Structure 1
Amino acid sequence: MNKVVLLGRLTKDPEVRYTEGEKPVAVARYTLAVNRKYKVNGQAEADFINCVAFGKTGEFAEKYLKKGQQIAITGRLQVNNWTDKDGNKRRNTDIVVEEHYFCGGKKESSSEGQDGFYPISEDIEEDDLPF
């Protein structure tokens, strides 16, 4: 099974291009900054993960996603291998996005979230959670 679920913030607005042809398809690319669970010297570290969304999902990204927004995505991992013009073997890894979910609200800085939910401190260990 190839399933990826990520929660992070967009590092910049998605870059969207359209394929050529009779029926152009949107291809949105963006990078998601995903915090690691553990901190180093009190500082949170993040991984910067390349994401690509096609078709309607790409059009959604173009219309609604902006730099700094916190989103959750589901998708699949895709590894691309090729040989460049100099004959060097190259590889990159993308997450092909299947779904986007908005996280956080307009008042992300407030202590109480929408519908009475409260943010969980990053200092809480998994064993401390009731589920």
Structure 2
Amino acid sequence: MNNISLLGRLVKDPELRRTQQGTAAARFTVAVDRGLSKEKRQQAEANNQPTADFINCIAWGKAAELISNYFSKGSRIGIVGRIQTGSYEKNGQRIYTTDVVVNSISFIDSKSESNNNFSNTNNTNNTQDDFENPGFFPIDNNDIPF
């Protein structure tokens, strides 16, 4: 089974392109925190070691257009997809690639929360505390126009 779920932040704005047939394709990189303990994180940072992984992703069609229109550098995003490997030749050398091909996405922050660096999540398992946080309000997924 080839299935992956990611939750992270976009490293830069997505790049939207179109194939010759007109299909939208968006490439982007997601920074995913490694979930280190406080001690391990401090140790890694002190030794200039990474505390996040930077994962290359590609989305096609409507998902690509949605990501390009509604996500930007720093936006939090949830992704479900599959890993795809490939290779190509450049200057006589074989280059190997690993990408996540996006099957579905989740909005984690609203536009205003992303701009204000809030980190509330929008899920259906809300607690009473979630409703008391500024900027959070429940939403019915059937009200979303896409």
TM over 0.5: same fold? yes
> What SS class does the counterpart of residue 90 from structure 1 fall into?
strand
Taking structure 2 as the reference length, what is the TM-score of the superposition? 0.69
Alignment equivalent of 2:59, drawn from 48, 53, 57:
53
Tell whether the 8 Å contact from 2:7 to 2:77 is kept in structure 1 after alignment. yes
Counterpart amino acid of residue 5 in structure 2: V
**1:66: how far off?**
1.0
**1:81: how far off?**
1.9
Counterpart amino acid of residue 20 in structure 1: Q
Worse overlay, 43-52 or 66-75: 43-52
Name the CA distance, whole Å, in 2 between partners of 1:67 and 1:83: 30
Alignment equivalent of 1:117, drawn from 109, 130, 136:
130
Deviation track 1:22-80 (CA, whole Å, cap 9, x = no partner) reads: xx000100010001111242747111100000111111111111111111100000001
Q: Which residue of 2 aligns with 1:98?
A: 103
The structure whose residues are more often helix, as a share, is 2
1:27-106, aligned counterparts within 5 Å?
27-38=25-36, 39-41=41-43, 43=45, 45-84=51-90, 86-105=91-110, 106=112
Name the CA distance, whole Å, in 2 between partners of 1:113 and 1:83: 42
Could you tell me which runs of 5 or more consecutive residues in structure 1 were left unpaired when the two chains were aligned: 119-131
Taking structure 1 as the reference length, what is the TM-score of the superposition? 0.76
Could you tell me which runs of 5 or more consecutive residues in structure 2 were left unpaired when the two chains were aligned: 132-146
- CA distance 1:90–1:112, shift in 2 (3 Å): closer
What is the number of residues matched between the two proteins? 115
Percent of paired sites with the same residue: 39
Query: In angstroms, what is the RMSD of aligned CA positions?
Result: 2.5
